[in-house]
Structure 1
Amino acid sequence: MLRPLVLLLCYPFLAAFAEPDWWKTSILYQIYPRSYADSNGDGDGDLNGIRQHVEHLKSIGVGIVWLSPIYNSPWQDMGYDISDYKSVHPKFGTLEDAKALIQKLHSEGIKIFMDLVPNHSSIEHPWFNASRHGQEPERDYYVWKDPKDRKGDDIFPPNNWLSAFDGDSAWEYDEIRKQFYLHHFGKYQADLNYSNPKLVEAMKDNMRFWLDLGVDGFRVDTPGFLAEHPDFPDEPWIENCTSSLKYNCLEHIYTTNQPRTYEVLHQFQEMLEKEYNSDKYMILEVFAPWDQWKGYYGPLMAPFNFLLVNDLWKDTNAKKLQSIVSDYMTNIPKGIWPNWVLGNHDNTRVATRMGVDAVDATNMLILLLPGTSINYQGEEIGMEDGHVRKYEILDCCNRDPQRTPMQWTSGTNAGFSTGNKTWLPVNSNYWNINVETQSHDSKSHLSTYKRLAKLRKSLVHSTDLETATIGDSVFIFKRQNEGKTYYVIVNLNNQDEYTVLSSSSLKNLPAKLIVYIPSDNAAYAAGDSLDTSSKITLRPRSGIVASKASTSGAIASWVLAWSFPVFFIFGFYY
């Protein structure tokens, strides 16, 4: 009789200290495999190269690694045109190399996400060849439609839908099948047909293949395009549109974020729940208005928060940044865990977009705002976009500069490769922006990143947040956990700001703060005292993490006092 009573009485105590799910506490770190590390000197990064640098990942607090596609592919869209979902492209290694990497990451306590590309496959996938020839079961694996009209030699597509890549028609006529197939992106990427239950199961089977090898989840590429309106109507044109890309001049009300899309993703989630004991996770690359965006949340899935990627630039002021943060925290569904993204392989690097002098300040934002922190390789050392000459360009959409090789050392090819040439040129600033050099400098971006990552661990159990601004340029937010209070103070201006912290709207601001972690360009050092009622100097693009001494020792005493009776009761009666 006593056992249930003890469990009931102790439950609130135990629940308060329960460890959150692993996808909530982790730093998620994106690796672009071709640019991370080359183990065999051929100029291309590979899986064994990643495995050789797992210690670096561990040292910066990474909890989850997300690999951009490593599958077999004709490589017309840098691997996002997949010809075999259950394979590894030879440039990256072998399936055995993938297994070895998974094992190595797991041995260091790091999870791994694969990049799932469910919307489309390469037209070189065996499925497509079977489908265009009308073979079962692949016949209806893709979105095929008859021509809208024929006039002489002219064949007209089913509707006015356009490709997001080039703005031309999203339909390509196939001479073998005598129908058009849909391609929201390149014509070499045929859209899969998620109104076909057999296709849904086939994609689940691809997921199971990697999950059974030990993968912990997926980053899901462009899921908003999974389904189309079943009637395939024309999309309305936007009046007075001046975009140079015609795709942007259509209202995409029939091609994105359709009801069937949510249904399919929830089927994927249900598989994770039932077949993998809810211990896997998906994070989704979603672009949608708030009302549609919310539908992508679930117990085991969430959409990326791209607000900082889209709206944080050099000229962003403090009020705008506060609005970005507050709107997101207000609009996410109740009980849902936040996440923050500042950069990725598709966007200009943070150090280029915000300036190299803002690297530490932006890392303070991405690592200390409440929720999961999502980082792109090289952000820990402040890598910038590289210069890629016209004759060196490989990507269709001008994304090569943010994909240049990782800078490990000041040696040949930045330590990325021992080869004579790298697949993209190494950034010319590699000699002083690299992991090795910064590892020996206590004030470097890398050293600051490590300190921020360590502090983040003490804050992951809470999503509490209070924000404030002072003038146009100073953004402040407050975090509390484990009896400590931290204030993150960022100057977004490219000029000095002389400010009085007590003039902000922050509640219960102490008279003095202690600098805990300064940016490399801050006017203060760790341990310095800040008088919150006097003017302090905030240098351009600098940031400061300051702390308030704990006044909640009573909580620790309460925990200690209760630890003996709780363990005594459990030990004697359980």
Structure 2
Amino acid sequence: MVILETECQISAAMMLPAVLVFLLATSALGIPDWWKTSVLYQIYPRSYSDSDGDGNGDIRGIINHLPYIKSLGVGVVWLSPIYSSPWQDMGYDISNFKDVHPKYGTLDDVKELIDKSHQQGMKVFMDFVPNHSSDQHPWFNASRYSVGDAKDYYVWVNPKGYLGGKPIPPNNWLSNFGGSAWEYDEVRKQYYLHEFGPYQPDLNYRNPKLVEQMKDVLRFWFNLGIDGFRCDTVPHLVEDSSFKDEPFLPGCTDPNNRGCLDHIYTENQPETYDVLKQFDEMIQKEYNSTRYLVLEVYASLDKVIKYYQQQSSPFNFFLITDFKRDSTAVELAKVVHDYLQSIPSGMWPNWVVGNHDQSRVGTRMGEDLIDSMNMLILLLPGTAVTFQGEEIGMTDAYIRKDQVLDSVGRDPQRSPVQWDSTKNGGFSTGDKTWLPLNSNYWRVNVKAETAKPKSHLSVYKKTLELRRNLKNPTDFKVNTYGKWVAYFKRDSETESYFYVINLNDREEMIPTSVIGASPTVYIASENAGYSEGNKISEYLVLPPRSSVVLLAPNKMLNKLLRSA
């Protein structure tokens, strides 16, 4: 259970910090310990490393870089889809849930990746795409012709009527990719639902046989050695069976704008939670709670929290959706507070600031906050998630119109990883890469940052090393000093550490009486103007949009906090 206490002391001279106190559950049901202590490192395989020179990243390329991944200190490697696919949605349109796309490699390659990761003490997650398949999946072809069990594996509905001899869609539901969510099939003479592209027909989770088929997909990969899954777009799994029109939001009447509709019939249905509960129970029963699922859920906080179960949890995207480039420290504290306060008793938090669907942190928040955001998620209590390349401060690549591959504009953040300053940034020896690299690869790359004593990579590694030595807190305090400075404390067995961030576009001076008498700089962002070991006496002076981690003996800081 999370208990919130709020204190706000104001004097005539200055505003003293508002203190948000969270009491976190120390025992977390059946959640594996490795999930609670790990950092999840997301790999977009097509953009990670190309081992054969064809311009596409592959599984062998990931295997070749396992020593680098291990050197970061992460505990879980998560692979975006590697399944057999026509690649109309970059692998999220799957034609075989139990095989690998030939450009990525083979099942034997996956098994080798799993085994070698395990040998180095790292777990392996894969993407699970339960909402839909490709229209080239054998199930869909059988369903079109009403053959066998697959007849009802997809959501089929009769036309609402006909106009001029042409069928009318069943209702006003719209696809996430634009246009109607319904596609008429001339073979079956019905519409099928597609919450995304028309080449991605939605699976029918009201059919128990389909549910069992998808459980078998999980079993297949679990039995191969996979430790868990990131589950894609789970709010869309089940739709309301009445197929009513979705109502318009107040003041918005554009029938072609999905954002104008209130998705009360297509998202977060009660039956969706029931399906996930079946997955959860299968993991508990058949795998002795040793596997874990993390769920992609973009929704309001009250709906997100409902997705917590014993063997699964929703991603926490609120540092993306509710924390922006111009947000204040008070707003940052509120995002952290609201999330931690809402987590069900016995559940575990997680923190995400980027992924393959979002602009990179350095582009979205500004390059001056790259270190600060990495430090933030690594030091908050809970599981942290890092998207490949964020550890070196990669930013979105520029994609010309003639180079665009993704219809909804996600190419820039998916550009290949920048390994060094050689041809193609060391990503591929081929003449052309599937997406162009960011033109800054000559200076922003793993090799260059490894050689520098102060770099995004060195800050990331040192912060993650510190994270491994921190105790899980029984209480957690987020403090704000004025409008723009936020800080919090984490303890090891013998020492205490303060993370302090200045979100202002101007320098901020923070009295050490607020943070701790004469602390020492332990880690500093590249733009903080401090070096490791610097002593802070009367004031901590933080440049715009920078951060530090300060070190002080436990007793001194605990005494100061009690007196605040």
Question: For the Cα contact (< 8 Å) 1:464–1:480, is it kept in 2?
Answer: no
**Higher relative contact order at CA 8 Å, sep ≥6: structure 1 or structure 2?**
2
CA contact (8 A) 2:512 2:518 kept: no
Q: 2:242 aligned with 1:238, yes or no?
A: no
Is 1:37 aligned to residue 52 of structure 2?
Answer: no
Equivalent in the alignment of 1:279? 290
The verdict on how the C-alpha distance between 1:256 and 1:19 changes in structure 2, with shifts beyond 3 A counting, is: closer
What CA distance in whole angstroms lies between the structure 2 residues aligned with 1:244 and 1:462? 49
Residue 142 of structure 1 contacts residue 191 of structure 1 at CA under 8 Å; is this kept in 2? yes
Matched, 1:69 2:81: yes
Q: Distance in 2 between matches of 1:441 and 1:217?
A: 35
Would you say 1:540 and 2:544 are equivalent positions? yes
> Structure 1: which amino acid aligns with 2:38?
S
1:517 aligns with 2:523: yes
- 2:10 maps to what in 1? none
- Whole-angstrom CA distance in 1 between matches of 2:494 and 2:264: 48
Asked whether the 8 Å contact 1:226–1:261 carries over to 2, the reply is yes
Aligned with 2:343 (options 329, 332, 338): 332
1:396-440 deviation digits (Å, cap 9, x = unpaired): 110000000000011111100000010000111101110011111
The residue type equivalent to 2:330 in the other structure is K
Structure 2 residue aligned with 1:7: none
What is the CA distance between 1:502 and its match in structure 2? 3.4
Change (3 A) 1:249 1:517: same
**Contact 2:174-2:256 at 8 Å conserved across structures:** no
Query: Is 2:510 the partner of 1:499?
Result: yes
TM-score, normalised by the number of residues in structure 1: 0.90
Amino acid at match of 1:275: E
Partner of 1:9: none
- Post-superposition CA distance 1:317-337 (Å, at most 9, x none): 111111111111111112211
Q: Could you say what secondary structure the match of 1:430 adopts?
A: helix
* Equivalent position to 2:117, from 105, 117, 123: 105
Deviations 1:308-355 (A, max 9, x none): 111222211111111111111111112211000000000000011111
| Residue correspondence of structure 1 range 222-261 to structure 2 within 5 A | 222-241=233-252, 246-261=257-272
Please identify, of 37-46 and 489-498, the stretch whose mean Cα deviation from structure 2 is larger. 489-498
Answer whether contact 1:73 1:81 (CA < 8 A) is retained: yes
CA contact (8 A) 2:172 2:245 kept: yes
- Secondary structure of the corresponding residue to residue 523 of structure 2: strand
Letter in 2 for 1:436: K
CA contact (8 A) 1:229 1:254 kept: yes
Matched, 1:311 2:311: no
Residue 176 (1) aligns with residue 187 (2): yes
User: For 1:201, which of 201, 212, 233 is the aligned residue?
Assistant: 212
Q: Is the 8 A contact 1:370 1:463 kept in 2?
A: no
Give, in angstroms, the shift of residue 462 of structure 1: 3.0
Contact 2:39 2:74 in 1 (8 A): yes
- Inter-partner Cα distance in structure 2 for 1:20 and 1:270: 15
- Residue 495 of structure 1 deviates from its aligned partner by 2.2
Shift of 1:103: 1.1
CA contact (8 A) 1:483 1:551 kept: no
Cross-structure match for 1:429? 440
Distance 1:242 1:522, change over 3 A: farther
Trace 1:443-454 onto structure 2 (pairs within 5 A): 443-454=454-465
Deviation for aligned residue 1:264: 0.4
* Partners of 2:365 and 2:476 in 1: CA distance: 24
C-alpha distance in 1 between matches for 2:371 and 2:127 = 28
The residue identity in structure 2 corresponding to 1:393 is V
Question: What SS does the aligned partner of 1:86 have?
Answer: strand
Secondary structure in structure 1 of the residue aligned to 2:339: helix
Alignment partners' CA distance in 2, 1:481 and 1:380: 24
Cα distance in 1 between the residues matched to 2:31 and 2:432: 46
Structure 2, unmatched stretches of 5+, are 1-25, 557-564
Cα deviations by residue, 1:365-399 (Å, 9 ceiling, x for unpaired): 01001100001000100000000100000001100
Counterpart for residue 562 of structure 2: none
Q: Within 1, Cα distance between the matches of 2:195 and 2:524?
A: 46
Q: Distance in 2 between matches of 1:326 and 1:148?
A: 47
- Work out which of the residue numbers 31, 37, 42 in structure 2 matches 1:25: 37
Distance 1:314 1:151, change over 3 A: closer
Shift of 1:242: 8.0
Q: How does the TM-score come out when normalised to structure 2?
A: 0.91
> What secondary structure, in the 3-state scheme, does the structure 2 residue paired with 1:478 have?
strand
Q: How does 1:456-471 map to 2 (within 5 A)?
A: 456-459=467-470, 461-462=472-473, 464-471=475-482
Letter in 2 for 1:498: M
Deviation at 1:243, TM superposition (A): 8.0
How far, CA to CA, are the matches of 1:366 and 1:15 in structure 2?
21
Answering whether residue 278 of structure 2 is matched by residue 267 of structure 1, we say yes
* SS, match of residue 241 in structure 1: coil
One-letter amino acid of the counterpart of residue 420, structure 1: D
Q: CA deviation at 1:151?
A: 2.9
In the other structure, the counterpart of 2:69 is 57
Could you tell me whether the CA contact under 8 Å between 1:485 and 1:548 is conserved in 2?
A: yes
| Cα distance in 2 between the residues matched to 1:265 and 1:115 | 15
Q: 1:63: how far off? A: 0.5
Q: Percent identity?
A: 56
Size of the alignment, in residue pairs? 530
Hey, what does 1:557 align to over in structure 2?
A: none
More displaced, 457-466 or 136-145? 457-466
User: 8 Å contact 1:371–1:460 — kept in the other structure?
Assistant: no
Q: Answer whether contact 1:143 1:182 (CA < 8 A) is retained.
A: yes
What amino acid maps onto 1:220 in structure 2? C
SS of the equivalent of 2:100 reads: coil
Counterparts of residues 398-409 of structure 1 (less than 5 Å): 398-409=409-420
| 1:198-253 C-alpha deviation (Å, 9 max, x unpaired) | 00000011111111100001000001100011211111011322889611110000
- The letter of the residue matching 1:223 is V
Are the counterparts in 2 of residues 27 and 375 from structure 1 also a CA contact under 8 Å?
yes
**Any idea what the Cα deviations from partners look like across 1:266-309, whole Å, max 9, x if unmatched?**
10111111111110000000122233222210111000000011
Match of 2:5 in 1: none
